[in-house]
Amino acid sequence: MINFIKSIIISIAFFIIIIFPYKTSSSSLEFHKKISINRDDFVKRSLKSKRTSLNNNFQIIFTCGIDDKKLCDNAQKGFESAGQIITSTISFKNPIIVNASFYDFCKTDNQCSNDNEIVAGGASPAKIITLTDNDGIKRNYPQALVKQLQFERYPDFGPFDISAKFNSEVNYWFEGDNSPIKSDQTDFILIVLHEFIHGLGFVSSWNDFFNFINPQELTPVPSVAIINSGISFNGFIENIFDKYLIFLSSGDSITNITTKINTIVKEKGNFYQSPENFIITFKSSTQYQQSQMMLEIATTPFSLGFLPNNAANNLSNAIILETTLNPFKTGSSLGHVDLKTYANTSDFLMTYIQNSGMTLGDYISISGNYTGGPIGPKLRQVLGTMGYDIKESYFSPFIPSVSLKKVSATTKISNNLDSIIIILPIFLIFNFII
């Protein structure tokens, strides 16, 4: 019941004032649960709130809740730099407005370190807007993208496009620090840049909304309305990201599966007396078998991909998604590119693991110094296919630092999880939870 009510909230507001944090420990850093944001409370306790006016289409509404001015300034510069990098890649018709907060999670939210783990933070779209796509199917779009599209009349926008909050107690390394990055430090710009890309819409809707802890099936987001005498179920809605997902073995669109699952509305009707009643009906239906099949496929290596518009239906041009994790890991699975395929390439940014002790410059150097910067060629294709206007040329807003003592031309990042734990005891796991 509680999980289904959560899915109702998601289907109505989908990411509005919800941040997806992750945690860091001596061995890993990952998202682990939702934290709600009350913006009024942030304003009351903040030390400063600034709007940037840099040559940057990301307008950062920055709130810092700690007394360390230098640390606040470093965090704000990190947010701004991540926005500059994306601005150098995407031509924005309208600015992206980010609600960015940096403060002590333990003192403010009672999210304290436990067993050497500490919640680090995260980011997400601040608002999702449902639009009817050109194929006649309704899909969820991040507000950031909708603002870039051409409409005669725009829907009502919220005040922010991306919400981001990060814990000031995490051991971050900031670009411009006098000392090189240490093995237990995380490059702040690296994780903010990754998170901003999620905020722009790099996220799949496919998840188990009825069994959060132990996934048993996958569906897109349930669209549910609460009515006086029960609930109205109006089908499952994909994200715009999902429109371009295919089965790598056949090239068939995953949207075909969504369509099959949604036949339950016509077959069973859309009124249910309670959430439990809907769940029982769904799990006993033939449509449920399709959702079980999706879980199996989403945990089979090299099974799903993103086919860009310019791929000419050539499956070899598909971007391979992360489907190696079994059991399915909400957020890490599907919402990232395949780690083994892209860890040592110029498309490293959207893998679900990033090593601590390495700067953004280190990753760029290891991957061959791609002229397009940290947003690799395949990620550019993904963003362009979703609807963003990608610039032909990239002009770096700054030169990221390279830790010369650690990185050489022959350095490679292990794409084996056990090896990563042995070689680099701290690494990032990007696990984007819906």
Residue 340 in domain: yes
C-alpha closest to that of 431 among 347, 362, 330, 343: 330
Residue 235 in domain: no
Stretch 401-413: mean pLDDT = 55
Residue 218 in domain: no
Angle (CA) 177-181-182 rounded to 5° is 130
- Helices marked H in 33-89: 39-45, 69-87
Cβ count within 10 A of residue 48: 12
Residue 160 in domain: yes
Give the C-alpha separation, 309 to 113, whole Å.
44
Given a cut of 50, whether residue 85 has pLDDT beyond it is: yes
Total domain count for the chain? 1
Residue with the bigger pLDDT between 401 and 32: it is 401
Amino acid identity at 51? R
C-alpha closest to that of 227 among 266, 263, 270: 270
Beta-carbon contacts of 407 under 8 Å, excluding residues fewer than 6 positions away, are: 358, 362, 365, 366
Place of tokens 């304290």: 112
Q: Show the domain range for 67.
A: 2-205+320-429
Given a cut of 80, whether residue 82 has pLDDT beyond it is: yes
For residue range 138-188, what is the model confidence (pLDDT) as tens digits? Answer: 999 999 999 999 888 889 999 999 999 999 999 999 998 989 999 999 999
Which percentage of the chain shows pLDDT scores above 70? 80
Give the C-alpha separation, 305 to 204, whole Å.
12
Name the token pair of 420: 């990563």
Place of tokens 């407005």: 97
**In Å, what is the CA distance from 160 to each residue of 83, 88, 97, 364?**
14, 21, 5, 30
Query: Residue 268, SS3?
Result: helix
- Helices marked H in 159-233: 188-199
Residue with the bigger pLDDT between 403 and 341: it is 341
Residue 330 in domain: yes
Give the C-alpha separation, 19 to 32, whole Å.
11
For residue range 278-306, what is the model confidence (pLDDT) as tens digits? Answer: 999 999 999 999 999 999 999 999 999 99
Name the token pair of 44: 């009351």
Give the C-alpha separation, 243 to 204, whole Å.
10
Q: Is the peptide bond before 327 cis (omega within 30 degrees of 0)?
A: yes
**CB-based burial of residue 160 (10 Å sphere; 0-12 exposed, 13-18 middle, 19+ buried)?**
buried
C-alpha torsion angle, residues 260, 266, 269, 274 (rounded to 10): 10
Query: Residues 197, 145: contact at Cβ < 8 Å?
Result: no
Residue with the bigger pLDDT between 13 and 367: it is 367
DSSP E strand stretches across 340-390: 353-355
Residue 413 in domain: yes
- The residue count for the chain: 434
Given a cut of 80, whether residue 405 has pLDDT beyond it is: no
Stretch 200-213: mean pLDDT = 93
Residue 287 in domain: no
Confidence (pLDDT) at 302: 98
Confidence (pLDDT) at 307: 98
**In Å, what is the CA distance from 87 to each residue of 103, 132, 262, 267, 393?**
26, 28, 38, 47, 12
Give the C-alpha separation, 99 to 164, whole Å.
6
Confidence of residue 406 (pLDDT cuts 50, 70, 90): low
Residue 180 in domain: yes
* End-to-end Cα, the chain, rounded Å: 17
CA atoms within 13 A on the CB side of 369: 8
For residue range 117-130, what is the model confidence (pLDDT) as tens digits? Answer: 777 778 899 999 99
Stretch 14-31: mean pLDDT = 37
Q: For residue 194, which phi and psi values (nearest 5 degrees)?
A: -55, -45
**In Å, what is the CA distance from 157 to each residue of 58, 126, 261?**
16, 10, 31
Confidence of residue 423 (pLDDT cuts 50, 70, 90): very low
Confidence of residue 1 (pLDDT cuts 50, 70, 90): very low
